[in-house]
């Protein structure tokens, strides 16, 4: 990341799957150091099968460190449910079924959600 920011710069940053809290904290530190802007967070957390794709402590690290920096957050429905604590039963996550609604972070200007591959409807964005 440092090479990109110092050599050519970045007009925007997209963050995908980060497996551990340690990695999330390192990315957060680099984003702050380089004053990254226009940050899109696609928190890849739940596989289509429902299996979790990251360590348990990474979920809270995403909420605490990356979501406050993000300008746009684009979870799919299972990921939004995990972030909101309103989960259906996904493998590896203890969960109760409710509508996800918008994910709101005071510092995050736009939040979206994608329906996932099995759904027919695309995405929703809230400001």
Q: What is the predicted pLDDT for the residue at 73? A: 95
Tell me the pairing of strands 123-126 and 110-114. Answer: antiparallel
Integer angstrom CA distances of residue 65 from 28, 38, 51, 92, 102: 6, 16, 23, 22, 19
| pLDDT computed for residue 68 by the predictor | 96
Spans of all domains in the chain = 2-126
Segment 99-113, tens digit of pLDDT: 444 555 444 455 555
Q: pTM for the full model? A: 0.69
Residue 4 — very low, low, confident or very high, per pLDDT cuts 50/70/90? confident
> DSSP class of residue 66?
I
Tell the CATH superfamily of the 2-126 domain: Ribokinase (3.40.1190.20)
pLDDT digits (tens, 9 = 90+) for 12-54: 999 999 999 999 999 999 999 999 999 999 999 988 787 889 9
| pLDDT value, residue 82 | 86
């Amino acid at each position: 990341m440092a090479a990109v920011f110092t050599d050519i710069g970045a007009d925007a940053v997209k963050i995908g799957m980060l497996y551990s809290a340690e990695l999330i904290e390192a990315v957060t530190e680099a984003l702050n150091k380089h004053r990254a802007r226009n940050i899109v967070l696609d928190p890849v957390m739940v596989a289509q099968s429902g299996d979790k794709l990251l360590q348990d402590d990474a979920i809270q690290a995403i909420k605490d460190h990356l979501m406050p920096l993000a300008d746009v957050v684009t979870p799919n429905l299972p990921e939004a449910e995990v972030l909101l604590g309103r989960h259906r039963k996904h493998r590896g996550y203890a969960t109760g079924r409710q509508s996800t609604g918008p994910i709101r972070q005071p510092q995050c200007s736009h939040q979206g959600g994608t329906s996932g591959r099995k759904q027919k409807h695309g995405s929703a964005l809230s400001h």
